[in-house]
Amino acid sequence: MFDTELTTEANDLILVRDFAAPRALVYRAWSDPQMLAAWWGPEGLTTTVEVDVRPGGALSLIMHDGKGNDYPVLGEFGEVVENELLVMIMQVERHPPEWHAMIRGKFVELGGDEADYVGGPVPTRITFADSDAGTRVTVRQTFPLALVRDAHVALGNPVGWRGSFTKLDSLLARTA
């Protein structure tokens, strides 16, 4: 198991993680609906997945918390290069109102003016490259504002990614 490196740049959150599996298998885990459903989302959540992995294809990742709350990540694919690149344009506008209030509240707490808060799509660029460990995945999420990114980070976005990556590690170990 490897650590996830986290950095920020401009409005971006960048996560880099190595996986002990070949690149084609790691890419498949991101593009095959059944595999993606097995690992997407933090521990304790299940995910219903529908994806059409091609430029302009639909993306639907609906996380369920077991308490009746759904956290839909909807959108579409931008660029797609098999075994190298996936660009997902992610929308979370259908998350529960409480979730949005929490993000907006953290934005204000961090110094933002509520009138300046912008949600909107989050382009997410995922690259796959060979590494000594097997495959290096880089996830770059571009938020509308740096302070919106900071609010997401403060409220656990990286924790969610790390939890998902731990589940992905387990899936890859079982599949390899």
Average pLDDT over residues 62-80: 95
pLDDT value of residue 171: 97
Q: Quick one: pLDDT band at residue 118, thresholds 50, 70, 90?
A: confident
Bridge partners (DSSP) of residue 12 are 9, 142
Q: Quick one: pLDDT band at residue 82, thresholds 50, 70, 90?
A: very high
Fold of 4-175: Alpha-D-Glucose-1,6-Bisphosphate; Chain A, domain 4 (3.30.530)
State the chain's mean pLDDT as an integer.
Answer: 95
Would you state the structure tokens that stand for residue 114, as one six-digit string? 């509520």
Listed range (23-27, 55-59, 85-89, 115-119) with the worst mean pLDDT: 115-119
pLDDT value of residue 120: 86
Average pLDDT over residues 56-81: 96
Residue that the structure tokens 């938020």 belong to: 143
CB neighbour class for 141 (10 Å; exposed up to 12, middle 13-18, buried from 19): buried
Residue type, position 52, single letter: D
Q: Distance between CA 64 and CA 49 in Å, rounded?
A: 11
- DSSP letter at 42? S
Bridge partners (DSSP) of residue 167 are none
Rounded percentage of the chain residues whose pLDDT exceeds 70: 99
Q: Distance between CA 176 and CA 142 in Å, rounded?
A: 32
- Count of other CB atoms within 10 angstroms of residue 148: 23
Q: Quick one: pLDDT band at residue 35, thresholds 50, 70, 90?
A: very high
Average pLDDT over residues 19-46: 96
Annotated domain spans of the chain: 4-175
Helix %, strand %, coil % of the chain (to 5): 35, 35, 30
Rounded percentage of the chain residues whose pLDDT exceeds 90: 90
pLDDT value of residue 41: 94
The pTM assigned to this predicted structure is 0.95
